Amino acid sequence: MAQSPPIRASVIVDNYNYEHYVGQAIDSALSQTYDRLEVIVVDDGSVDGSAQAIEGFGERVTAILKSNGGQASAFNAAFERAGGEVIVFLDADDLLLPDAVANAVAAMEPDVAMVHWPLWEIDRDGERTGGVVDPDLPEGDFREIVRRLGPGVEDVWPNAATSGNAWSRKFLEQVMPMPHVFTGTDIYLSGLAGAFGKIVTLPEPQSLYRVHGANLSGELSFARMMELGCSLFEEQSRALAAIYRRAGVDFDASVWPEHAWYPRIQTSLRELEQLLEPGEAFVLVDETKWGVESEFAGHPVIPFPEHDGQWDGWPENDQELIAQLNRANAQGVRLIVFAWPAFWWLDEYPELAAYLGQHSQQVLSNEHMRVFGLVSRAEAATSRGSSRA
C-alpha cells in the first residue's frame, strides 16, 4: 500500500518595524531540519527598512507586503497563501530552534488542534538570559470543558507566546480569518483550539523569545490590558458560539464569562468600586504587576510602599510598611488593597499581617484581591474605651 506523502508545513513570519530582527527570524525558519516546508513573510506596513531586509531573501520566501492593519490582519493575509497542514506563526523578533517544525509535525496527530512549547528567553542581542517563557503549559483533551465553560476557561491556560505554537490547518480553517484584535492573537487562537481537538505540549523549548524593551505587551497599561482582554474574550465567544450553532452543538454562552480570567477581574474591580466613596483614595499593593496608573475609575491610587507617589520597591522590614500605613490612616485613607499576586506579602511580612489583624477588617476577598478596611485611630480609641467600660 502506498504511503501518504510527508506532511507539508508553513512557517509564517509576521513583521512590523523589526528591520533589525526580521532577517534573523527568517534565517531560523529557513534553517529548519524539516524539508517539506514553506516560509511566508508578511510585513504589516512597516515604515523602517523591513521591506528591503525581506526582499533580500528573494525566492527562498514568499513575501507579502501589505498596508498596516494589525497582527490579526497579517495572520489572515498570510494564511490565505499558506499551503501547510501544520502552521507556525513566528514573530519577527523571535527565533525558531532548528528542530522546532520537525518536532511539532511529529506531535500533530489527526485529532490534535495545537502543539505548544515553552520558549528560551533571549536579550536584544540574541543571548540567552537563562529564563524560560511559559514553562508550565496545559495538555489534554479540553473539548467538553470548553463547550461547557467557554473559551477563557483556565484549564486551557496559560497559553504559549505566538512563537511557541503550531496549529493544525483543520483547526485554523474553522476560525480564520480572525477578527481584528489589537493584541493577543495567540490568546485568541489558543482559547479556541481546545474546542476543536487535543492540545499537546512539547516539554523542551523549541523557540527563542526576545526581550528587548519594545515588546508590545509591556507597553500596555493595566486599564488597556483589561479593555483588550475583555474584548478578546467577547470575540472568542462570538466566534465559538457561531461555530457551535452551525454544528448543532448544545451550549450555554451565558455562563462563559464566569469562567474567563479578564471578565472575572472586571467583576472584582466592580466589587472594589462599590466599596469606595466617590473620589476616595486607597492604598494599593501590587508590585506594579497591574501596571498601576495614578488613578483607578476616578479614585486616586497610593502605591505601597511609595516615595514621591511612585512604588518604592521592596521594603527592608515591616516597620517601614506599618509606618506608611499609619501615615495614610492619619490622612483619612480607609482601604488597602492587595492585588493578585501580591497576596503573599501577608506571609512575607508577618508584622504587617499582625498590624492588619489588629487595625483593620477584611472587607473583600476573592481570587484577584484582598481588601482591608483600616480602623481610624479615633475609632480604635472609641473601641478601646468601650471595651474598658
- CA 285 from chain centre, in angstroms, equals 21
Give the pLDDT of residue 313: 87
73-131 tens-digit pLDDT: 999 999 999 999 999 999 999 999 999 999 999 999 999 999 999 999 999 999 999 99
Angle value at C-alpha 141, between 82 and 200, nearest 5 degrees = 50
Least confident among 232-246, 269-283, 287-301, 313-327 = 287-301
Task: Work out the pLDDT band at 381, boundaries 50, 70, 90.
Answer: very low
202-222 tens-digit pLDDT: 999 999 999 986 655 556 677
Could you tell me which residues come within 8 angstroms of residue 17 by beta carbon, excluding any fewer than 6 positions away?
Answer: 46, 47, 48, 50
Q: pLDDT at residue 3 above 60?
A: no
Kind of pairing, strands 306-307 and 310-311? antiparallel
Greater confidence, 387 or 93? 93
Q: Over the chain, what is the mean pLDDT?
A: 90
Q: pLDDT at residue 380 above 60?
A: no
What average pLDDT does this structure show over 52-79? 97
278-294 tens-digit pLDDT: 999 999 998 887 765 67
Give the pLDDT of residue 290: 73
What average pLDDT does this structure show over 164-193? 92
What average pLDDT does this structure show over 255-274? 92
Using CA atoms, how far apart are residues 131 and 119, in angstroms rounded to an integer? 9
Give the pLDDT of residue 29: 98
Task: Work out the pLDDT band at 382, boundaries 50, 70, 90.
Answer: very low
Please state, as a whole number, how many other Cβ atoms lie within 10 Å of the Cβ of residue 19. 18
Give the pLDDT of residue 177: 95
C-alpha cell at 167: 496549529
What average pLDDT does this structure show over 59-73? 96
Q: pLDDT at residue 307 above 80?
A: yes
C-alpha cell at 125: 542581542
Q: pLDDT at residue 389 above 50?
A: no
Give the pLDDT of residue 216: 55
Task: Work out the pLDDT band at 182, boundaries 50, 70, 90.
Answer: low
Task: Work out the pLDDT band at 308, boundaries 50, 70, 90.
Answer: confident
Give the pLDDT of residue 214: 62
Task: Work out the pLDDT band at 386, boundaries 50, 70, 90.
Answer: very low
Share of the chain above pLDDT 90, in %: 77
Strand order in the sheet with 86-91: 62-66, 37-44, 9-15, 86-91, 165-168, 112-116, 198-201
Task: Work out the pLDDT band at 388, boundaries 50, 70, 90.
Answer: very low
Task: Work out the pLDDT band at 270, boundaries 50, 70, 90.
Answer: very high
Task: Work out the pLDDT band at 378, boundaries 50, 70, 90.
Answer: very low
What average pLDDT does this structure show over 252-269? 93
Q: pLDDT at residue 2 above 50?
A: no
> What 3-state DSSP class applies to 315?
coil
Whole-angstrom CA distances from 71 to 46, 68, 290 are 12, 9, 24
